[in-house]
Structure 1
Amino acid sequence: MSKIKRARYTLEYKLEAMRLVANGQSVAAVARILGIADQTLHNWIKVYETGSLVGASSRPISAEQMEISRLRAELARVKMEHDILKKAAVSSTGHCNTIIFAKIG
């Protein structure tokens, strides 16, 4: 029987996730974008409010790594918006219009 490895997240990652929530996105949407459970994000917010949020390691994260993380989250959000637009285009016309898809995607 193999042991399941728990994911470990840096403090910067957790703070970025909470920043997305603070900017108006729902907890569920942010969790889906980042690929984590809703409850995990709720727990981070709760612990942050008590002032005892910590990360997986104490080593500093470079600016490039933070930018990559931010861009990945933004890419996931844009892909989700793109999928929503595709579904809206299909549902509004009742059929798949390849011209619309060519312009959108």
Structure 2
Amino acid sequence: MAARGKTRRFPTAYKLKAIKRAEGGEGVLPVARKLGIPRKILHDWIKAWKAHGPEGLNRKPGPKPGPRKLKPLQAEETKRSALALANARIAELERLVGRQQMDIDFFRKALRALERPAAQGKTASASSKSLKP
């Protein structure tokens, strides 16, 4: 294994031979062990070779320039996001109903408070009239 921080460079012919051996029936892991490279590197070489041919084996590592391609949402992820949106909407509506109920309770109490003095005033005036000759 190479020292940390240093990347080993392999010639394109070397990479192609490794790919042919792995795809020829030896398997990725045995070929990687024989060559002393990590299995992931050999998988990356195979993937680059299938995608871009021999030119793909000499590409620099790291992100490539240009816009990134986002993977389309799968059906299950779409269902989850739809469920999450529905749950968020339900929670929002429940909060709204709770606020409205608090407003209704407040106004009921205020109305009762306004009705009590009026009712008390009527009874007081009626009783005072009956006392007067």
TM-score by length of 1: 0.47
TM-score by length of 2: 0.38
Q: Which structure has the greater CA radius of gyration?
A: 2
Structure with more relative contact order (C-alpha pairs < 8 Å, separation 6 or more): 1
